Structure 1
Amino acid sequence: MADHSAIDTTQAKYPWKTAVRTAFQVGIPAFVGLLVILPPILQDVVNTFGHQLPAALTAWLVGAATTITATSALLARVSAMPKVIDWTRKFLPFLAPDRAKSNTPIAGE
């Protein structure tokens, strides 16, 4: 198998693209889930018990979705660092951005 370095991966070459892509991949479902789907469910639960949702709940849900999205982007950025990629190849090859140390075939190849 060819000798690869962490610098060869697109994740390491374009770390901010990786972080932004991950933020979109996580942010869209986080905001939809926490701001579109969850409030009506919570309101139905609250209506069952005869109370009303606090006004600050929407602000809290926006903060939660923002925190989830920012954390995922930060983790994607850290994961794109060459030393982290090399460590991942060594200890968690199934999470590596390429197959440099893995013999596992990718579907469709």
Structure 2
Amino acid sequence: MGDHSAERTSQTRYPWRTTARTALAFIGGGAAAAPGLYSAVTNQSPETATGAGLTALLVSAAITRLMAHPFVNEWLTRAGLGAEPKNTP
């Protein structure tokens, strides 16, 4: 048989980085939806809660997509949150 080896993804090699990046996207989405969430809680409005939830989801997805861009990932790598660690000489 051939010599096959599956390459491990950065998510499995550096799970804490994946967790931190997900938390960053979640916090950004929650921050964007905070006014709507506050309004939903104080007014007990299901419509506002649904809109705020959708806003949080869409903003989180946009942040996640933006973090996948090579330029942004390079910047995140310098900050210590890149998909791969810094290349140290």
Higher relative contact order (CA 8 A, sep 6+): 1
Give TM-score scaled by structure 1 length: 0.40
Q: Which has the larger radius of gyration?
A: 1
Structure 2 length normalisation: TM-score? 0.48
